Amino acid sequence: MLRFFTMLSAVVLALASPAMAKDKLTIYTYDSFVSDWGPGPKIKADFEATCDCELEWVAVADAVATLNRIKLEGAGSRADILLGIDTSLTTEAAETGLFEEHGIDTKNLRLPLEWTDKTFVPYDYGHFAVIYDSEKVQTPPASLDELVNGDPGQKIVIQDPRTSSPGLGLLLWIKAVYGDKAGEAWTKLSKRVLTVTPGWSEAYGMFTKGEAPLVLSYTTSPAYHMVAENTDRYRAAAFAEGHYMQIEVAGILKSSQNKQLARKFLTFMTGPGFQNHIPTNNWMWPAGKTSEAMPDAFDKLVKPSKSLLLPADEVNANRKTWIDEWLKATTR
Amino acid sequence: MLAGLAAMVCIAGAVATPMLALVAIAPAMPDLSADYLGFVWSITRFTVLQAGLSTLLSVMAAVPLARALARQASFPGRQAILRLLTLPLALPALVVVLGIVEVWGRQGWVSTMLQQTGLTGPLNIYGLSGILIAHVFFNMALAARLLVAALEQIPPENWRLAAQLSFSSRHVFRHIEWPVIRSALPGIASLVFMLCIASFAVVLVLGGGPRATTLEVAIYQSLRFDFDPPRAVLLAALQLSLCAGLFALGGRMATDIAVMASVGKPARRPDQATAKLTDTLVIAAGLTFMAMPMLAIVLSGITAPFDVIVTQAVFWRALVTSLALALAAASLCLVMAWSLLAAQRTIMRRRIPSRAASALMSSMQAAGSLILVVPPVVIGAGWFVVLHRTGLANSAAPVVVAVVNALMALPFALRILRPAVVGQAQVHDRLCASLGLTGMQRWRLIDLPVLARSLTLAFAFAAALSIGDLGAAALFGSADFVTLPLLLLQKMGSYRSLEAAGIALLLAGFCLGLIWLAEKLKPEAAAQ
Amino acid sequence: MSGADIRLDELQFAYPGGEPFHFSTSFDAGSFTGLIGPSGSGKTTLINLIAGFEEPASGNLYFDGVDAAEAEPAERPVTMVFQDNNLFAHLDVFTNIALGVSASLDLSGDDRTEIAGAMEKTGLSGFGHRLPRELSGGQRQRVAIARALVRDRPVLLLDEPFAALGPALRRDMLRLVSTIHKERRMTVILVSHDPADVKFAATHAAFLDAGRVMANRPVDAFFSASDIPGLQGYLGT
């Protein structure tokens, strides 16, 4: 058995030692960002064309896992940049002391709000939304309140805030709208909830299979169906109270040996070379300057009347309490 | 004997190292407030409840199905059905959950049928019933397959005797089948129980929400969103000791039936003809229950854009990775299982085992059993820390995934191989000793041919488990290390559910192909 | 119950891919026939056919003139004792014997007395609660014979049941079978590889070669004959 083990490792080692010559920038991100159909490969090509360097994507399962990996690796991390966490995690990430100020010019940013974080730079954003199946729902809820108080027979699938970003997004959305009354809102909403899935994929899969007419997702979800499947059957419901925002960011590691190059990448990230690939590859809104017109489908999307976002510090300080509140309200 | 000890050390190390590593990086005491303990108590209760019920139902459904399949040795398509029983293990939970929703959900086939006939409104499976349906789907098949293997070990003379003594099928059950089932059941039930304890996506999705929180969910949460490794390790240890405790209780009920190896020609079973009708009904019912979600998976996969899938380089990379992992994990699993069993055989050969020897033996049993309930998220994170500190994080990832997969398959392999190995030991040990046949020579000439059938089945289970595994593979996943289930998950996660359905279908196909290949390549049983 | 006569009429059988067997012979009621012949000559197959464990391709089999070729094993007037695995390993001696009386183990007081009698006759008194693994090889076969006693069928087939035992023990067992044969007048067929055993215990001897019964005669006539093809070579005389 030992021999088998050593043989296998030898083979693996031989396969995994690329020749190194140019400067290399290593970026940790979530895996769908760098999948063949994600923006990663295109961004890599565009960036390498400008920098005479090599960009290495290291993909980890999802955003939370990327941060956990940085925590596990500590100061010995290979990463120069972490890309992919959202604002519900930025305070926690900053508190690790492993990140340093980005120090770049953010004039290219295009966000619905002013960006003040000095550690992390946003690269895209989206709004959470309830997506409905227009073949089954004639009058979608027009507000979060209508969703909460609506017909319990009309079911919604949501995600678990303990295990998924959209799940946490809805938790914060309800907190932002209802404040101290969030628990009561959850109790009412839970009558409409068909089930709570651990991740976005299960929920969205159940929704497109027709098991529930409503699902928690993003305002940009209909764009995918319009562009790739040529259908506007699935639509986002515009909510009067506004929509909670998710802003995805990147930051530089203190331990990076390539900070010059890392800053160059972050600046590049806010410009067209990066941003042009966001809409139809990551299905989010670009957070910086693009040089191409937005696809038609994006024009047809719901534009939130108001963007809701709780301060990152507040989220970080209260997340456990709010999750407990949610648990109590929904398991009663 | 040495190999057995090495395997045991390897297993214990593979499990204990990550847990210790996680404690080492954050040695703070976890939160043990009364509130939190109350929460842990309530989820522990639910965990045991759902796993216990799932096990009970799976096993109760498996016994008649296994009897029917074992009895009707020439049932049309029997071999295909037996292969199909290994398949659920290879399907990622996410795929199965969607298949089950399509059959049993509010808008599912069964609901639609019931509504059209005006019997009831839509079914609502979300809650305990949904969890049980999914767990029975996964585990009835597993338990039935293992029971069929056990029943096939009955020596043909028993059937001749039964024929002569005019046993009815009730007598056959009482005097021949039940003793075999009874001796196999504790092992099978404990395996199913562990799988249900560790079940995660099924419990959350079909459980209808946070009411259905299990320890596994809490471990996942504490290691990921809360990043509280000590708490995760504590909960994992709780889960581990819970199972160990239950098995210690169950172990007292377990009996080792004396397996009688026979040189007789295979005999016709006397109850085959009379039970044909009921057996056909039982097999049809079991098959319908099993096949419906699988059919749903096939139907959603069949329209997938296969031309798109197979022209993507990443698909082929994932396929090669998955197959290589499955082969490596299954081979490694068999080597470890064999080492453990050979060591146990050596201990047993001494007629009256010393106290130390029997303690060693039971710890070998336990070592090979409990890995299934150490959450992959803990193993993965812990090993990641270790490998990172040693600078091997990237190069060693595939090796660790293969080893972890092999370890996860070990409980299956041990349950399949143990009775056969023990039986062979009784028959051949003295003969081999007198002929001076030992080591590799004995393995090649005696053990391999005689155990071919069990080895093939164990290999099939291990390969299926590894090919469908997401847990271990996902934790080390990088752009260069993509397996088929991982690719499937990525497609699911970026709206490409149709491609994902196609990949699920291909995954199932490759798994069946692998099992078929293993059966073709098995050495001919020399004893016949 | 006394013995039944057995007649095999052009009974044909072949294992897949094997040479065909072709049996024609008869066994008188109450006879004790020793079946000898080279290995592979079809001894076990012959008694398996009589017991109903193999189905003949063609031909007839009569017990007391009644055709039984289609009958299930349990419907035939036969008890068979195998070379090995005659006992259910997890059941004790008493229960193993009792299965010969009632498959559901519903035992009357008379049944118990009968079982006790059979155990005494086979020298198993006091062993009722032992499990098969706690018995010697000879004792295990005694249990199988005790079960045959309580079943009390007209025909007793023995497939080399004592082959594994030492010479003295084998003689004891043969004496036991012989005694039972005399008392019950059952028809006994013993497959053996030792002509001395046949001379010792049987009234008749039959010689099989290449799937055929070459001769079936009273013991004295059999062993003094010189006209049986292949027998001399087999016996090495």
Query: How high does pLDDT run on average in chain B?
Result: 81
Strand bridging mode C78-81 / C58-63: unpaired
pLDDT of residue B33: 78
User: Is any Cβ of chain A less than 8 angstroms from the Cβ of B102?
Assistant: yes
pLDDT, one tens digit per residue, over B251-298 is 655 555 544 445 456 677 877 777 889 999 999 999 999 999 999 989
A113-117: average pLDDT:
90
Rounded distance, CA C150 to CA C148, Å? 6
Q: Rounded to an integer, what distance in angstroms lies between the CA atom of residue B215 and that of residue B46?
A: 9
Q: Which of B457, B327, B448, B472 has its CA nearest to residue B396?
A: B472
> Which pLDDT score is estimated for B479?
58
Tokens of B110: 């069964």
B100 and chain A in contact, CB less than 8 A: no
Q: Which pLDDT value is given to residue B488?
A: 87
Q: What is the rounded distance in angstroms from the CA atom of residue B471 to the CA atom of residue A32?
A: 17
Q: Do C209 and C19 meet the contact criterion of CB atoms below 8 Å apart?
A: no
Instruction: Assign B351 a pLDDT band (cuts: 50, 70, 90).
Output: low
Which has the minimum average pLDDT: A280-294, B27-41, C129-143? B27-41
Predicted confidence (pLDDT) per residue in C102-116, tens digit = 878 888 999 999 999
Q: What is the pLDDT of residue B430?
A: 60
ipTM of the predicted structure?
0.81
What does the pLDDT average to over A121-132?
A: 96
Q: Which residues in chain B touch residue A71, judged by CB atoms under 8 angstroms apart? A: 227
Contact across the interface for A64 and B225, Cβ inside 8 Å = yes
CA torsion sign for A200, A201, A203, A207 is: positive
Place of tokens 């594994």: C164
Q: How far apart are CA B229 and CA B442, in angstroms?
A: 47
The Cα B36–Cα B33 span in angstroms is 5
pLDDT band for position A185 (cuts 50, 70, 90):
very high
C103 contacts chain B (CB < 8 A)? yes
A19 confidence band (pLDDT: 50, 70, 90): very low
Q: Is C100 on the interface with B (CB under 8 A)?
A: yes
Note the pLDDT of residue B472: 65
For residue A217, pLDDT over 50 is answered with yes
Statement: residue A128 has pLDDT above 50: yes
Tokens 């994992």 sit at which residue? B236
Pairing of strands C21-27, C6-13: antiparallel
Which residues, 6+ apart, have CB-to-CB distance to B112 below 8 Å? none
pLDDT tier at B527, thresholds 50, 70, 90: very low
Query: CA neighbours within 13 Å on the CB side: how many for B234?
Result: 16
DSSP string, chain C: -----EEEEEEEE--TTSPPEEEEEEE-TT-EEEEE--TTSSHHHHHHHHHTSS--SEEEEEETTEE-TT--GGGSSEEEE-SS--S-TTS-HHHHHHTTT-TT----HHHHHHHHHHHHHTT-TT-TT--GGGS-HHHHHHHHHHHHHHHT-SEEEEESTTTTS-HHHHHHHHHHHHHHHHHH--EEEEE-S-HHHHHHH-SEEEEEETTEEEEEEEHHHHHH-S-STTHHHHHT-
Task: Assess B129–A contact: CB distance below 8 Å, yes or no.
Answer: no
DSSP one-letter code for B478: B
Distance CA A188, CA A177 (A): 15
**Which chain C residue lies closest to B255 (C-alpha atoms)?**
C90
pLDDT confidence of residue B454: 83
Residue C23 distance to chain B (closest CA, Å): 20
Chains C, A in contact: 3+ Cβ pairs under 8 A? no
Across the interface, do A72 and B7 touch by the CB < 8 Å criterion? no
| Of A228-237, B308-317, B375-384, C131-140, minimum mean pLDDT range | B375-384
pLDDT band of residue A245 (cuts 50, 70, 90) is: very high
Contacting residues for A86 by C-beta, under 8 A, at least 6 apart = A63, A165, A246, A247, A248, A249
State yes or no: pLDDT of A13 exceeds 60: no
Confidence of residue B525 (pLDDT cuts 50, 70, 90): very low
The whole-angstrom distance between B281's CA and the closest CA on chain C is 25
Least confidently predicted of A51-60, A218-227, B268-277, C11-20: B268-277
Determine the average pLDDT of the residues in B399-406. 84
Considering only the beta carbons, identify the residue of A13, A34, A326 that sits closest to B479: A34
Query: Residue B251's CB: how many other CB atoms inside 10 A?
Result: 15
Give whole-number Cα distances, A275 to A288, A294, A299, in Å: 6, 11, 17
**Which residues neighbour A324 within 8 Å (Cβ) at sequence distance 6 or greater?**
none
How many Å apart are CA B334 and CA B417, to the nearest integer?
9
Half-sphere exposure of B139 (CA within 13 A, CB side): 29
Backbone angles phi, psi at C204, to 5 degrees: -130, 160
Residues 6+ apart with CB under 8 A from B9: none
Residue C81 φ/ψ, nearest 5 degrees: -115, 125
Q: Residues B444, B517: contact at Cβ < 8 Å?
A: no
pLDDT tier at B475, thresholds 50, 70, 90: low
Q: Quick one: average pLDDT of B41-52?
A: 91
Inter-chain CB proximity C85 and B171 less than 8 Å: no
* 8 Å CB contact of B175 and C133: no
Residue B38, judged by CB atoms within 10 A of its CB (0-12, 13-18, 19+), counts as exposed
Would you tell me how many other CB atoms lie within 10 Å of the CB of residue B523?
14
Q: Nearest Cβ partner of C74 from B155, B164, B265?
A: B164
Facing residue for C99 by CB, picked from B165, B258, B268: B165
How far CA C179 is from CA of A222, B170, C145, C196, C220, in Å, comes to 93, 36, 12, 18, 20
- Segment A254-296, tens digit of pLDDT: 999 999 999 999 999 999 999 999 998 888 999 998 998 888 8
Q: What pTM did the predictor assign?
A: 0.81
Q: Are B484 and B318 in contact (CB under 8 A)?
A: yes
Q: What is the mean pLDDT of chain C?
A: 89
Residue of chain A whose alpha carbon sits nearest to that of B96: A202
Contacts of C80 in chain B (CB under 8 A): 160, 164
Please write down the long-range contacts of B88-91, taking CB distance under 8 Å and 24 or more positions apart.
B88/B137, B88/B138, B88/B141, B88/B142, B88/B290, B89/B138, B89/B141, B89/B142, B89/B461, B89/B464, B89/B465, B89/B468, B90/B464, B90/B465, B90/B467, B90/B468, B90/B507, B90/B508, B90/B511, B91/B297, B91/B468, B91/B504, B91/B507, B91/B508
Q: List the structure tokens of C76.
A: 């035939």
Instruction: Say yes or no for a CB contact (<8 Å) between B175 and C88.
Output: yes
CA separation for the pair B85, B77 (Å, rounded): 13
What residues contact residue B76 under an 8 Å CB cut-off, 6+ apart?
A: none
Those of residues 213-272 in B touching chain A at CB distance below 8 A are 217, 220-221, 223-227
Name the residue in chain B with its Cα closest to that of A58.
Answer: B478
Q: Measured on CA atoms in the order A233, A234, A239, A243, is the torsion positive or negative?
A: negative
φ, ψ at B52 (rounded to 5°): -65, -50
Q: Alpha helix (H) ranges present in chain A?
A: 2-15, 31-34, 40-51, 63-73, 90-95, 144-149, 165-178, 182-189, 200-208, 221-228, 259-269, 272-275, 278-282, 296-299, 312-331
Q: Identify the closest residue of chain B to A326 by CA–CA distance.
A: B210
Chain B stretch 297-356, residues whose beta carbon is closer than 8 A to a beta carbon of chain A = 300, 312-314, 328, 331-332, 335-336, 339
pLDDT at B528: 33
Residues of chain B contacting residue A327, judged by C-beta atoms under 8 Å apart: 210
Chain C residues whose CB is inside 8 A of the B160 CB are: 51, 53, 73, 80, 82
pLDDT category at C7 given cuts 50, 70, 90 is: very high
Q: What does the pLDDT look like over C185-222, one tens digit per residue?
A: 999 999 998 899 999 999 999 999 989 999 999 999 99
**Cβ-based contacts of C89 with chain B (< 8 Å):** 257-258, 260
Which of B204, B205, B190, B296 minimizes the C-alpha distance to B251?
B190
**Which chain B residue's Cα is nearest to C91?**
B175
- pLDDT at A1 > cutoff 50: no
pLDDT (average), residues C169-180: 90
* Residue A4: pLDDT over 60: no
User: For residue A214, which of A244, A186, A194 has the smallest C-alpha distance?
Assistant: A194
φ, ψ (nearest 5 deg) of residue B48: -70, -40
A143 within 8 A of A304, measured Cβ to Cβ: no
Check CB contact of B489 with chain A, cutoff 8 Å: yes
CB within 8 Å: B163 and C82: no
Determine the pLDDT at residue B9: 79
B26 versus B501: the higher-pLDDT residue is: B501
pLDDT at residue A18, rounded to an integer: 47
Average confidence (pLDDT) over C170-198: 91
φ, ψ for residue B423, nearest 5 deg: -60, -45
Contact check, Cβ <8 Å, C85/B168: no
Supply the angle between the helices C137-151 and C167-184 in degrees, to the nearest 10. 10
Mean pLDDT along residues A93-119: 91
> Between A and B, how many CB-CB pairs are < 8 A?
172
pLDDT of residue C168: 84
Q: Which chains touch C (3 or more CB pairs under 8 A)?
A: B
- The gap from C-alpha C173 to its chain's centroid, in whole angstroms, comes to 13
- Give the pLDDT band of residue B476 (cuts 50, 70, 90): low
Nearest to A59 among B220, B300, B477 (CB): B477
Nearest by CB to residue C79, choosing from B158, B164, B270, is B164
Q: Name the residue among C3, C152, C147 with its Cα closest to residue C63.
A: C3
Q: Which amino acid is at A73?
A: E
Is C40:C208 a contact under the CB 8 Å cutoff? no
Strand (E) or helix (H) holding B461:
helix B452-468
The reply to whether residue A31 touches residue B477, judged by beta carbons under 8 angstroms, is yes
Decide: helix, strand or coil at residue A195. strand
Residues from chain B contacting residue C133 (CB–CB below 8 Å): 258
Report the alpha-carbon distance of residue A157 to residue B222 in Å, rounded.
24
